[in-house]
Each structure stands twice: as C-alpha cells, then as structure tokens.
Structure 1
Amino acid sequence: MDKLKRTPLYESHLKLKGRMVEFGGWEMPVQYSGLVEEHNAVRNGVGIFDVSHMGEVEVRGKDAKRFVQHIITNDVDRIGKNEIQYAVMCYENGGVVDDTLVYKRDEDSYLIIINAGNIDKDVEWMERAISEMEFEVEFSHISHDTGEIALQGPKAEELLQKCVDFDLSALKFFNFAEDINIFGVSCLVSRSGYTGEDGFEIYASSGEIEKVWNGLLDKGREYNIHPCGLGARDTLRFEANLPLYGHELTEEISPLEAGYGFCVRLDKEEFIGMESLKLQRDLGLKRKVVGFELVDRGIARAGYEVLDEEGEIIGHVTTGYKSPTVGKSIGLALVDAGHLSIGSGFYIQIRKKRVGAKVISRKFLTKNYAR
C-alpha cells in the first residue's frame, strides 16, 4: 500500500485531537468534537475545514481559453474576470473524469480546482488533451505548493472581515480576489464553498497556510468556531444537493444523469464528450439521480440496492444519511427512469430488510449563499 499523503496542517489536526482516516490517498481528519456538533456549527455559526488535499492546476497562454473550453462541459464565456464557474470534465462516452471549479483570472489565465483522489488521473488526462490538440498553453500543476482552507457558516464573513483590510461585502458569490493579506500571508480568497452556507475558500502557499489556519482559529474563539472534518463536510454538501465524485458523479454516471445539466452547455462550440451527452439528451435519460426519504426506520447508505415493488433491482443509493438539519433519513439514488416522479415509492435493501422510501425533491434545504 502506498504511503498516505498529508496536508501542511497534519500536525495541527493531531494537536486538535482530530480523528484521522484515509480519504482518496490522504490522511485527513474525519471529525474533531463530533460530526453533528461540527455540522450544526457550520449551519448556525462558523466552521473551518482543511481542504489542502484538493488539487490545483494553472493554465495560461494564448490557447488557454480554447483549451479550458475543450475539457469542460460549461462555458467560460459566460463568466467574467475574477469569477468562478462550476464545471465537469467528461470522457468521450459522457462519463465523468471529475467535477471542478474554474477560476477565471483573465481570458488567457485560469486556475482549475480538482478533487483530491483524482489529482494524478486528472493531470494526466489534461496533459494528454493538450498534446492531442497541440494547444499552446503553459500548464502548471501546483497542488503540492498550495494550501487551502474553507471558512463556512453565517458568521464566516464577520469573522474573516476582522482579519483583512478588504471589504468582503463587495465580494459576491462565486467571485474571488487575489493578494489579500491574512495574518501576513498573501492569499486568494473566493466566496464559495461546499456546504450550502455563506463562506470563503482561502488559498495560500503550503508553507504559510498554517499561519492562516491558526490565526482564524484564534480570532474565531468569540464566534465559537469549530474545526470540522470530512464527516461534516459530507453531510453538509449532501443536504445542499452538491455532488461528491465517486457517488453522484462517476465514470459511469454522466452529469445529465446526475441531475447537473445546468453546467452542461450543449450549445457551445465543442467539448470532450459533447456528442455522447447530446445523444443522451435526445434519446431521453434511462436513469437519473433522485432525492428520497425513508418512510420506515433505517438509514440508507451509499451502495445499497434500490428495488421496485416486485423486488427487481432498479438502482442504488449514491448518498444517504439521517440529516442533522432536516432530522429525517434522506438520500440520493440513481434509479431507472420509470421511478423519477415525486411521491413514487420504492424499497431500499438495508442489510436483510427492505425499507420503504419515496421520491422527494432534492432541495432538502434552502441554501444560504450571499448574493
């Protein structure tokens, strides 16, 4: 087994008594004080996450925009300088390479954020795309040199504002600013996150990110800031109907099937996988990810089989939890197209028991993003 990678904040997690687990080849904290406590801290106050395991690549040069347009399903012509766009990278068959955030610095300069467990695969795939089309770009893989913190929750702006001389109220949702001084460290700050709450993602050099982490924890005491682990990160993103690669999006599940068609622009000139996704759209989806609620006791976990009334397998659970905010056992499942209607019933095989469930809206809660 390969040695697990560690972020620059690994020693900080040990000091905070974080419970460390393996995640995507990294040794990361799954929780500190407890999943539900950390989850509620973000929903009601402020939490801080180490997300330095995420990957970053920079693309610059005269073909930068053309290259980015070629590899993502979304359309960067729809955003301006210092804006962010959620996008998916697909294989030719429409399956997902990864989902990403694209930071547009300028027409010829982009920062692309990729998932921790996919870094090596993504970089290889992007480099191959460059060589196949002979794009004239400068491609830099900077993950090792970059640390990232997510500060999330309704008190995030108030806390961070005490640490910067930049007017954060001017930073709109999915916008970013660079060269922001935080505790003497030059940072890129974006108004974004993976929780459904207002908040910020802060990037700095890997050698200096600990100064930012410690400073925010210290300043955040008056807000009862909680360091938060992967457990709360997953429950928060799930309640906000945000996908997790390997669950709602995979090499076998397209963005259309996953229900994220808003980031698939089939009217733009071209991108890898466009023809397959057009065919899916035109022929009609044979399966799709739906929200569900259990009508019997139990918790549906990822991978559990979904059955129809005759006991035939019609799909599987992609994510399932007893929601800390909603207070119900809810989830997401990839099911055959005949079972997509709100109120439709099916069963989930939970160990040796079939538990009743019904399709509900995926809007499990209202997102509290700053607009």
Structure 2
Amino acid sequence: MKIAKSLAIASALALSAVGMAQQSSASECGLSCCIAAGVDGIGSATGLTVSLQYDTMLMKTNKQGTTKISPQQIISNNLAGRANGSMYAVSSKMTMQKIVANMAYRMDEDNAFLLTVPYIINDMEMMMGMKMPAGIRYSTSNMDTIQGLGDVTAMYLRDVYKDADIRTRERLTLGLGIKAPTGKSKARNARGDLVHMMMQAGTNSWDGFLVANGTFAFGEHEDGGAQFLLSPSASYHITSRNDLGYKVGDRLNADLSGRYRITSKFNVKLDVNSVYSQKDSTDGTIDLASGKVAYQNVNGNVLDNVANTGLASVFISPGFQWIAADGLILSGEYRMPVYQNVRGIQQVTDHWFFLRATTYF
C-alpha cells in the first residue's frame, strides 16, 4: 500500500529541527520546525503531500545564563541604581502558537520541493515595576494578541545518495531554501512603539536555509520494511538585516531522531533536538514613527535589548506516528527542555506540544 511505504520513508526523512527562543526568529523553533513537518512527509513515491501542523509553546521561566530568575528579581536588579519614577518591564508568561500548512511535491525519485506557510498567534503577559520612595510597585498587564501570516519558505531537496529507490535503508538528502518577508513585522502598541521583535509575526528579511538529513534503517518488520529508523539531521538558517536595521541571529540546528515501528500502522519515536543561535543585532536605525531605535528600549523592557538574545538549547522529544486511515497519517510529540543556556536574560520554553495531519495525493 502506497501510504504504508511512504510512512516508513517519511519517518526516516524526518528533520526534527528546533530553533531559538524568539518568535522574531519564530519562537524556540524558528521556521525549522515548520519545515520539519513538510520534510517529514516526503516519501519516495512521486506526487503531492500536504500536512497541517499545530504547535503551542508555553513559556514562563526566565533565565540568566542557565540560572532561573524571577520577574521581580529582574526588575529589582534593573531599578536598583536608577532614580525614583523609573520603570522596567519583564515578560511573565508567553503563549506562542503556530498553524502551519506544508505542501511537498516529489517530482521524481531524487528531487522534491517544499512550501511552508505559517500562521502565527502570540500572547504575552507583562510585569511592570516602578521605583517609588517606599520601594518598587509591581503591576501586570496583557499585550494585545499578535497574529497573522508568518514568513513563507520555499525549499528544494535532493537525495544525493540512497541504497535503493524502494524500501530505502540508507539515504542522504541535501536541501536549500529561501524565506520571504511575508509576515507582519511592524505591529505597534497603543503608544505607537514597535512591539518586541520576538512577538512579531515576521522578520521583514530575506533569509536562506541549508539542510542535510541522513537515514539509516535497521531490522526487519513483519511487513518487510525496517523495524527501526535512525535519522541525524542539521540545518542552518542564514538571516539578513531588515529595512529597520534589525538582524535576527543565525541559527544552527542539530538533531537525532529514532523511530520504532510497533505495527505497520503505528510508530513511536524519541528525538534529541539541539540549537545554537547567535545574538541579534541592530545598526541603530531610528523608527521614524516612534523616534526610537527600532525594536529597542534598553531601559524600559528586557525584551527590547539585543544583549538578551542568542542561546543554546537541548530538548528530548517523545512522540508517535499513526496511520489513522488510508491516506491519512496523524503524528505528535512533546518537547521537554533538558538544557537551556541564554545570553543575558531571556524567557525560555517550559512546555511545547505538536500535532499534525498528513495526506498523500
């Protein structure tokens, strides 16, 4: 059955990439997780694969380096040497959601194309501290929801090595792609200031992607396919500076995905996902609408400071893949952070869930 064969190969081709902890860099996933869902559906059979992915990331923990630090302590430290009346704000909770449509087309045995279209929904709760003669007065507020089309990515993938066209057990796939600035990047708050870059739906920059993915299959399942699939992968996101002088840091993702076929219709998996991201940067361009350096408010908000960008993270990700019906595959995973080391002070991922549905034509 075509879908059973495609499932085994699709599992082996999984690119389980994880990105940085900023939505401007598309949350801790970057666009890499969006692309991964599409790559995950490219089997050996020619034709079109369409997948719909939903993921939600819950972030409450703030860290300084690898150490947890409370919002109150961040505010207190910042205001300690400042005058009465000074204010400083910190994110106390973020909920970042993405709905992603992936369309993958394999034109022949070796070449495939992937189009990724994300829709972004970002919410944030803020804690504000004001220094008073009697001490710091704290208050909380909710930002308006930022939502809309994100940055669209197109990618070309080529199998440069494989041991067989059918029931492939060894494969090396290389790819390159481009991200277009289709997402809104200049959302503003009630004061007319640009919303934090990490909360914007897009970056307003043209970026590039380089991808490498390997597949190794072991053992024999009763249906003749492989019992166990191991897939190492790496991707590099090359970013550029946008028209307001802001550049999101480049990102390197390195991952290892292992999948075990319990039955012909049900797989379990365990991935190790890692990321290293460089710091963001700004060239000091003034946003004329606010009169401030674009996306920067160093003395007002921990999020509007490029010193608080860039990180290294490692996740462990258990998941499943199930042929729910002929022509329909359902899959999901839960990503658990096991190591997070940030530059400056940043809010990191506490819980991260994925669900996706894939169909073949």
TM-score w.r.t. the length of structure 2 is 0.24
Which structure would you say has the larger Rg?
2
TM-score w.r.t. the length of structure 1 is 0.24
Answer 1 or 2: which has greater strand percent.
2
Answer 1 or 2: which has greater helix percent.
1
